[in-house]
Amino acid sequence: MIEARGVTKRFGDFVALDDVSVQVPGGSLTALLGPSGSGKSTLLRVIAGLEAPDDGDVLIFGENATAVAPQKRGVGFVFQHYAAFKHMTVWHNVAFGLKIRRRPKAEVKERVGQLLELVQLSGFAHRYPAQLSGGQRQRMALARALAVEPKVLLLDEPFGALDARVRKELRAWLRRLHDDVHVTTVFVTHDQEEAMEVADQIVVMNDGRVEQTAGARELYDEPANEFVMSFVGPVNRLDNDWVRPHDLELTRESNGATRPARVERVIHLGFEARVELELDDGEELWAQMTQEQCEELDLEPGSRVHVRPRRARTFASTQP
């Protein structure tokens, strides 16, 4: 297990991490999810030893690694912008960690060959990073980090610099890789869809604090507070309640528990339809439903409907 205990980190006046504690089960794939400035990258770097915490400890499989230099922690780190050794070929990049440890030539050759095959870059061994695409460079960076059999693999927004299609492909690929290789993995992302798709466990962070740690399902259905709820999925505010758009039920007739509203706009997105509504008191909401349901209701701008939340959540600290 990898653990951060009570970690605090300041940069001048700015508090990046405020008494943060996180536990990462061995062999799992954990995501640190949050907006910019939430401290997720800082936490990752503290675990790696690239930043020293002002307070708190880092434990790597039981050993206190807080004072240990990054060279000796046995962590593999993958950067958002690849940090490729641009003056070395792909082969030498991947071999780097092994060469530093003075592994015998034959062993290095075999291991690098295996890894290049694992990341599907076997034919690119003699190219330079500048000749690779972004996705290829990131796969190389992963192979490089895995070469020295790290105890934990840390990825800092690994797909942030890639375009949407490549990002989706690599996401799935990372999950498959993890299933094969089983290294304890922590990755940082601001994309909730990515976290929910890939990770076993998600740590939601905001403003240097952990808001909630849970699996994707629990995070979505039982968010701990309004920040988590609105970060992890779309949400409507209805008086003191927080309602997911797909939990807003629309009917033509009132049935007691409903509120009247006016349809402002209907957006057709293939399978899905979005209905933008305005309540009589001016509050704006939007509902999400299937195209079929939308057609059944026969909605158009100006139609009068009635809304009712199927499910809603209330949080104690909600401000009006």
Kindly indicate which of the ranges 34-42, 86-94, 213-221, 258-266 contains the residues binding another protein, using the contact rule CB under 8 A.
Answer: 86-94
Nearby residues of 54 by Cβ (< 8 Å), 6 or more positions away: 8, 9, 10
Residue 151 binds another protein, judged by CB under 8 A: no
Kindly indicate which of the ranges 29-37, 71-79, 183-191, 217-225 contains the residues binding another protein, using the contact rule CB under 8 A.
Answer: 71-79
What span, in angstroms and rounded, lies between the C-alpha atoms of 165 and 6? 38
Q: How far is CA 41 from CA 77, 95, 307, in A?
A: 12, 26, 41
What span, in angstroms and rounded, lies between the C-alpha atoms of 205 and 227? 10
| Beta carbon of residue 205, minimum distance to another protein (angstroms, whole number) | 22
| Beta carbon of residue 229, minimum distance to another protein (angstroms, whole number) | 35
What is the total count of residues that contact another protein (CB under 8 A)? Answer: 33
Please report which residue ranges of the chain form alpha helices under DSSP H: 40-48, 90-100, 105-118, 134-147, 164-181, 192-198, 216-221, 226-232, 291-297
What span, in angstroms and rounded, lies between the C-alpha atoms of 153 and 76? 5
Residue 238 binds another protein, judged by CB under 8 A: no
Q: What three-state secondary structure class fits 183? A: coil
Residue type (1 letter), 10: R
Q: Which helix (H) or strand (E) holds 191?
A: none
Shorter beta-carbon distance to another protein: residue 51 or 249: 51
Shorter beta-carbon distance to another protein: residue 97 or 135: 97
Residue 67 binds another protein, judged by CB under 8 A: no
Among 14, 63, 100, 120, binds another protein (CB under 8 A): 100
| Beta carbon of residue 191, minimum distance to another protein (angstroms, whole number) | 21
Residue 52 binds another protein, judged by CB under 8 A: no
x/- contact string, 123-142, with another protein (CB under 8 A)? -----xxxx---------x-
| Beta carbon of residue 142, minimum distance to another protein (angstroms, whole number) | 12
**Which residue from 170, 167, 181, 198 is spatially nearest to 114, judged by alpha carbons?**
181
Among 34, 53, 97, 309, binds another protein (CB under 8 A): 97
Shorter beta-carbon distance to another protein: residue 71 or 317: 71
What span, in angstroms and rounded, lies between the C-alpha atoms of 303 and 133? 50
Tokens linked to 114: 């295996």
Residue 176 binds another protein, judged by CB under 8 A: no
Site residues (vs another protein, CB under 8 A)? 48-50, 69-73, 75-77, 79, 81, 83-89, 96-97, 100-101, 128-131, 141, 144-145, 147-148
